[in-house]
Amino acid sequence: MQGSVLLTIAVLGGTGKEGKGLAYRWAKAGYRVLIGSRSSEKAVTAASEIMQLLEGAASVVGTTNLEAAQQADIVVVTVPYSAHRDTLENVKDALKGKLLIDTTVPLIPPKVSKVQMPSAGSAAQEAREILGAEAEVAAAFQNVSHKHLLGEEVVECDVLVTGTSKNARAEVLKLVEATGLTGWDAGPIENSVVVEGLTSVLININKQYGSTYAGIRITGASNK
């Protein structure tokens, strides 16, 4: 088992496809995972699905978003953008002194292939505004399709990690590695606009070239 310090990771909105996929990969790597949801029943169901996939050799528990945030060392938010602000305001007090990893892309239907950022600059910077300086905020996994997480497939998409400090980004890069993906330090939280917006660019590429899971790879550098 990796994750030897046995950190507990809360995945808010962990009943969704992206959240469930990440929870699966972290649980498999040995982390204790709390699935959070507005409905604790749904969270319990999602947790038991993941436990079945891993044949019981994992620690995954379902509960409410708030309880999950309270009990975790690191909190990951994987809700749709429409629920982003409410979810964060609900758990704000529980996040003091912790690290939030935001996976949100501020897609505004119907024009999801056009970059449309909130006034804060990006969803991650909006999270930063909501939580204040008492939590660290990082952002990652915005470009990765959930289809490739809940299984053993190699994910042909790198993960660009932004965050409010180099330490926060380093912490997230360890969690990226634990999922089997390749992560890169993409700089300060202000750079989140690039990574979140890249999802709209990839959606546009899927639309124009008939693909389904366009992704990106960094070339010309080594993170080993």
Which residues bind to its own copies, rule: CB under 8 A? 113-117, 156-157, 160, 184-188, 190-191, 193-195, 197-198, 200-202, 204-206, 208-209, 211-223
List 137's β-bridge partners, or say none. Answer: 100
Q: Which is nearer to its own copies, 45 or 182 (CB)?
A: 182
Q: Which is nearer to its own copies, 96 or 166 (CB)?
A: 166
Name the residue with tokens 């699905």. Answer: 49
Rounded to a whole number of angstroms, the minimum distance from the CB of residue 185 to its own copies is 5
Q: Alpha-carbon distance 175 to 224, whole Å?
A: 15
Rounded to a whole number of angstroms, the minimum distance from the CB of residue 114 to its own copies is 5
Rounded to a whole number of angstroms, the minimum distance from the CB of residue 166 to its own copies is 9
Q: Which is nearer to its own copies, 44 or 118 (CB)?
A: 118
Contacts of 209 (CB under 8 A, 6+ apart): none
Strands (E), 148-212: 159-163, 183-188
Residues 31 and 3 sit within 8 Å (Cβ to Cβ): yes
Contacts of 156 (CB under 8 A, 6+ apart): 148, 213, 215, 217
Contacts of 58 (CB under 8 A, 6+ apart): 27, 28, 33, 50, 51
Q: Which is nearer to its own copies, 47 or 139 (CB)?
A: 139
Q: Which is nearer to its own copies, 87 or 164 (CB)?
A: 164
Q: Which is nearer to its own copies, 2 or 223 (CB)?
A: 223
Phi, psi of 66 (to 5 degrees): -65, -50
Rounded to a whole number of angstroms, the minimum distance from the CB of residue 7 to its own copies is 23
Rounded to a whole number of angstroms, the minimum distance from the CB of residue 206 to its own copies is 7
Name the residue with tokens 């990771």. Answer: 9
Rounded to a whole number of angstroms, the minimum distance from the CB of residue 80 to its own copies is 20
Q: Alpha-carbon distance 88 to 174, whole Å?
A: 23
Residues 183 and 140 sit within 8 Å (Cβ to Cβ): yes
Rounded to a whole number of angstroms, the minimum distance from the CB of residue 36 to its own copies is 30
Q: Which is nearer to its own copies, 29 or 175 (CB)?
A: 175
